[in-house]
Chains A and B, each alone.
Chain A
């Protein structure tokens, strides 16, 4: 045996042994039955052991494990470059906090480009909840409710703004004047109503004339259309004294989205500047089958915001059994501001606003020095828990949109593994049988190369912490089919050389020599395709590119180095005998 052969043989053995060693944790991880994993949930020591084994095993992609892949787009409109970058990093940090508190193992959060964040949540059980948690801005603000006598003037301004929108509407408005009086509240009437109620203070029955409200039966009936044209904003509102002490304005729940669209118009902010309207997050049932949302006129500038919270916890709502609320504690500075403002404004209303919707607007009964309070709404236990979590993690500095989402349920993930593995197994068996039939003893060498190829490929995946996806398994299967190619090229060459009546040894030598160049050329082109996929692909597709590319490299190694060692070694002393090929 010559020196070069010895070195190559040694190299092959070392690589194979290293690969098998590298795959041991993967086998261990696979051999832990699901029941044992389940049982280990209560045993932290065992759980840590399992986690350590899993960490060294081949990482399964989200499509095999089940989980969620999200691309979030951070709204950077109107920001300069450094603000935009700052916002991106801040969002990433807050999302990390939220996910951390949500309790997902091994989450991955990375920025992508200048405005995107990629979030990977493996093994997620409740994708719907995760999305709400990640997408919510969670901007908590305390705002003073404006005195009610300011409302008519503001409504008029807003109506002017939207009427001037369309000339057609303005033209129609002139005609409306001649129509018989429609039973709706005009701003003038509103002002009177407000003044009246201020004098009388209480209405006889809070629900008395709900039927006479604009659009009491059908909010947008034909008769109201004309009024709506002239008063596009006020027309959507229901104005009713006495239902709530804090505001006389309401909107029918079915009109809420329409109203919100108007409220979101940036021109309102420019026109009103110091005040704005916000509606309540949940509708209230006032007893006549009408679901109404209160609408408040509040200060634009908050007196306090969520960044001054030190803690938030969910708790039972003592006033409304069955509902939950979130109790919060303010930090020192926040508590001082809160005490000062409440002390100065006894008798006024303070709105607690979350992401632009009011959760409640209680009356300030006296100075609140403790720096703690609560947010109530129609919260279930889970919703209150999530809200508390969001408040603790902090508000996002800007809006975040989900631009891409790929979620795989855990059941589909395990189905995919099962199918992928069985396809790989049967595909390999087919190829192995075929090679043994076609090349007989030399086929054994090919089969050894094939099996080693898979082992080395998997070991590289485990070692370099690469992710195995379903298309990744497909890549391995394809590699099996194509890895054979190198061996086929070599064996066919050797056959050709044998036909030229060369000795076995010489045939093997020149067979390898002639096939090497072809193998390299042919594989480089597939590698080009693989590398391009690696560059362009995301998620599962990347997994395919990874296994395909590595598979090409390992198959070149097994075919050109490993099988050559075996072939040269087994034919080293043979002359013109017949070769089994």
Chain B
């Protein structure tokens, strides 16, 4: 079986259209993000508590919410979680005090009192104090920035600097779009999602580097072709591999999304989305940026003189 027999798709020719689409998508993501007042951070970063409870007999979400509101809880979010009888109760930590544990415990006790006669099982509780929340936020930012910096460094060492810059453009593109989709769907950015982002960065790069590697090889082999031709040829030669690997990675991410359970749902969603944009960006963003760079900055004539 073979998906493509000697493909010759004009990826570089589609560059302008692809850039236009990407710019629109990135701008759209930025607009959603701004409209929602930045990414919706989970209690991991803002401080607060999440309670996952199973209630029997099953109440309406609205009933749960009004029970809590009736008891004076403000800013409490109640959502169904995974199955019919499970609920996620999230509330921010407005208190400056570091003692968050009592807040969650008191809420649970109040809920048990308010829903007298119902059986409430605490399946999961997560509480993060504001201090640790702030630290995690800094650590998450640092980790993403550090990952990007190290990757540019690595590519610069293994290739040349312009390849690193092209790769970073693609990565920022991928992360922005994923952030945009999360904002659009009103999903929360939690620690898990940051892990997903880093994985997307790693994966998208994986794809990009395979193509870059082929470009470097073809630059040496095909000295008579223009940059445009060499780069387009390289993307085409890698096409089978790109599609195959993307498919298998997408398969496993999708199984995780469908079967992995609600706890890991958003994480799996981020991976699925990331695989798609990561694949797109390595074919339509990263490599064409190289074409643009070469043609604008270096010019085809000097091609033979280059060290690659």
| A contact set with B: CB distance below 8 Å | 63, 71, 73, 127-128, 131, 135, 401-409, 411-412, 415-416, 419-420, 422-423, 426-428, 430-431, 434-435, 437-440, 470-471, 474, 477-478, 480-482, 484-485, 488-489, 492, 495-496, 514, 517-518, 521-530, 532-533, 535-538, 540-541, 544-545, 548
Contact = CB atoms under 8 A, between A and B. Distances in A.
Interface in B105-130: 105, 121-129
Given A525-B202, A532-B143, A541-B195, A131 B251 contact: no
A497 B125 CA distance: 56
Interface stretch (B27-35, B68-76, B144-152, B294-302): B144-152
Interface of B: 1-2, 52, 98-101, 104-105, 121-129, 131-132, 139-140, 142-143, 146-147, 150-151, 154-155, 158, 191-192, 194-195, 198-199, 201-203, 205-207, 209-210, 213-214, 217, 237, 240-241, 244-245, 247-253, 255-256, 258-261, 263-264, 267-268, 271
Nearest to A540: B192
B206 A536 contact: no
Given A404-B127, A416-B261, A518-B210, A434 B247 contact: yes
A521 B209 contact: yes
A537 B255 contact: no
A533 B198 contact: yes
Q: Which of B207, B210, B259 gathers most chain A CB within 10 Å? A: B259
A427 B252 contact: yes
Contact of A492 (B198, B201, B241): B241
Contact of A409 (B101, B124, B192, B253): B124
B154 A541 contact: no
B199 A541 contact: no
Contacts of B99: 401-402
Given A430-B255, A529-B202, 9 more contacts: A404-B129, A406-B127, A408-B123, A416-B263, A440-B1, A470-B263, A489-B241, A536-B143, A537-B195
Nearest to A430: B251
B202 A530 contact: yes
B86 to A, nearest CB: 9
Q: Which of A407, A435, A438 gathers most chain B CB within 10 Å? A: A407
Given A470-B263, A521-B213, A484 B253 contact: no
Q: Which of A422, A485, A495 gathers most chain B CB within 10 Å? A: A485
B121 A481 contact: no
30 contacts: A127-B122, A401-B99, A402-B101, A402-B127, A405-B125, A405-B127, A409-B121, A409-B122, A412-B124, A416-B261, A416-B264, A422-B259, A423-B255, A423-B258, A431-B251, A474-B271, A477-B256, A482-B203, A482-B245, A514-B217, A518-B209, A522-B205, A522-B210, A525-B202, A528-B147, A528-B150, A528-B202, A529-B147, A532-B198, A548-B199
A408 B247 contact: no
Contacts, number: 223
Contact of B195 (A406, A480, A535, A545): A545
A184 to B, nearest CB: 30
Nearest to A113: B135
B240 to A, nearest CB: 5
A487 B123 CA distance: 41
Contacts of B100: 402-403, 405
Given A431-B252, A528-B154, A405 B126 contact: yes
A458 B135 CA distance: 32
B192 A403 contact: no
A521 B158 contact: yes
A480 B143 contact: no
Contacts of A485: 206, 241, 245, 248-249
B280 to A, nearest CB: 17
In the A-B complex, the 3 residue pairs with the closest CB atoms = A529-B202, A526-B202, A419-B261
Contacts of A135: 101
Nearest to A73: B98
A393 B46 CA distance: 35
A535 B143 contact: yes
B163 to A, nearest CB: 11
Contacts of B206: 482, 485, 522-523, 525-526
A517 B245 contact: no
B127 to A, nearest CB: 4
A536 B129 CA distance: 18
Contacts of A492: 240-241, 244
A240 B275 CA distance: 74
Given A471-B192, A525-B154, A403 B259 contact: no
A535 to B, nearest CB: 7
B132 A403 contact: yes
B210 A407 contact: no
A521 B151 CA distance: 11
